[in-house]
Structure formats: structure tokens, C-alpha cells
Amino acid sequence: MTDRMRFRVKHVTRYVYERPASHSHNDVRLTPIDAPDQKRIAFSLEVSPAAEISEYRDSFGNLTHSVNIQPPHTELVITSDSIVERVALPAQPSDRITVHDYLAGDSARMMEYGEFLNPSRYVPFSDRLRRFFWSVRPELSEDITAYTERMILYVRNQFGYNGATTNVHSTVDDILTTGGGVCQDFAHLSIGLLRLAGIPARYVSGYLAPDPDRDAKSPPPELASHAWIEALLPGAGWTGFDPTHRTRTMIRHIRVAVGRDYNDLPPVSGVYNSAGGGLRMAYELEVSPVAAA
């Protein structure tokens, strides 16, 4: 695997309204993050029907587009097209520090990273989550990074991948109740356990590009938006982990946005006026490698 890969990401979101919608406002978070290990080479956003589009940074620094359409319309199509270069930087080793010594800095971390240590909408510190945490709590002599890695494996090993048991509005209690979930649920549960242990953890949305080394005879992968986490490890900073795949993030993980949980960064969210009727949503996603210029 090379230490540098370039991908094209095309994401189409389509809404069809049973009755005309008007005065539609949507916040769109589909722009890949620009960072030392991820370069946004190109990005375009197209909206049909014609819309007034402006951009801003949300409270977590994510580049967000505000999309406004006033006239009545029965369909809304939002298309983002990106070219992103991912760079595999040398791994920054974390400092070895025991849970006992780490907890001495709790107050300072809470002051600086409280939003990633406190409960959030989809990661409530419920009695059910606290009981689950207590069953896998760290030993005071355990290394913080080792505990984090242990939890990533533990969550995925305990729960099956099942898209029928949860939805985008599910909390950690839902996966703990049903015993299964999807990438979003594994991320939320991992975040909850780490926060209760005093380790700042945040939610990451993005895409996982197909493995170029997969067997050419195997079926093409089903592409979808993906979710994982970043934990703030001593000496290493924010470090990516993919609970769904029981691993640290790799060069094929393309970051789009970060937040406390999914509620902070849905790809498209908004409101509109209508005389009633339902709404159907569908999306198309293409993630493919491209040659560097």
C-alpha cells in the first residue's frame, strides 16, 4: 500500500416530496476536511433546483454549506464532487501513562475538552451505559492507550453488525438493548465508554474507500457514508479508530466532519414548508481511486 493515495468522491442526495416544498433551508456537511494527512484537491457542490448557497464554519470547524430554496419544488438534488489526497504520516507514538496517573489531569482536560467528555444527545450517560462501562472499566495500572485499543475491540466483538436494529436517531441504549447496530452505533458506544473513563472522544463522519488490493473476482463493495471515532491520546493527540473494523484508521478513511456525535454533523439536515405529504430520500455514492496529476 502506498503512503499517498488520491480518491474521487461523488455523493448524490435526492429528496422527493409528495406535495411541493418551499422555503427550504438545508445545512450540508459534505466537504472533506483539509488537514496535514488529507488534502482537499477539489470540491464542488451542485443543487437542483437553483439555490442560494453560502458557506460557514460550524462550532467544530467543519466547512458547512447553507442551501436555501424559496420557490415550490417537488424534488431536491444535492451533488457533491470531491478529489481528496490521503497521506499516511508516520504514526505518532502515545506516551505510556497509567490510568491512575492519567486521572490526575481530569480537571484540566475537562476545562479544555469538556464537550468531548460530557454526555451528548446520542451518547447519554444512562444507567445502562454506566453498567456496561463498569463491567469493562480500566484497571488503575492499565495503560491509557492499551485500554482504548481494548475497548475498540471489545465493542465490536460484543455486538453484531445489523442494520435492521437501529436508525440514525438511535442512542447508545438502543445498541445495548438490541445487541446489534451499524458503524454509527459502534462509534457512539465506543465514545461513551471512553468518555466515562475520562478520555476525550469525538465522532467522525466520512467515507471508507474500497480496498484496491481486494480480490478482483469478489463482488463490488457496498458503498455508504462511514463513521468512526478519534480519541485524544497522551502525546499522540487525536487518534483515529474504526470500531466497525476493529482497527485504527488507515489511508482509505476520508474524513468529512467531526463532532460530539452524529447529531452535530448529519450530511444534510434542514427544514421546509409544505401542505403535507411524505418525503422520500435516496442517495448514490461513488468512491474511486484516481491517479495523481
Q: Where in the chain is the domain with CATH 2.60.40.2250?
A: 4-88+267-289
Return the minimum-mean-pLDDT range out of 7-21, 151-165, 234-248, 259-273. 151-165
Least confident range from 7-11, 60-64, 86-90: namely: 86-90
Q: 4-88+267-289 has which CATH code?
A: 2.60.40.2250
List, in order, residues 6 or more apart from 147 with CB less than 8 Å away: 99, 138, 197, 199
Locate 161 and state its grid cell: 453488525
Model confidence band, residue 224 (pLDDT cutoffs 50, 70, 90): confident
Q: Indicate the pTM of the whole model.
A: 0.94
- Which residue is listed with cell 470547524? 61
Tens of pLDDT, residue by residue over 154-197, are: 999 999 898 888 888 899 999 999 998 999 999 999 999 999 99
Fold designation for 99-250:
C8orf32 fold (3.10.620)
Q: What is the tally of helices (H) and strands (E) in the chain? A: 6, 14
Give the pLDDT confidence score for residue 62 in this predicted structure: 97
Residue extent(s) of CATH 3.10.620.30 domains in the chain: 99-250
**Per-residue pLDDT tens for 258-279?**
999 999 999 999 999 998 888 8
**Burial code of 235-273, b = ≥16 C-beta within 10 A, e = fewer?**
eeeebbbbbbbebebbbbbbbbbbbbbbbbbbbbebebe
Rounded-to-integer distance, Cα 200 and Cα 113, Å: 7
Distance CA 153, CA 233 (A): 17
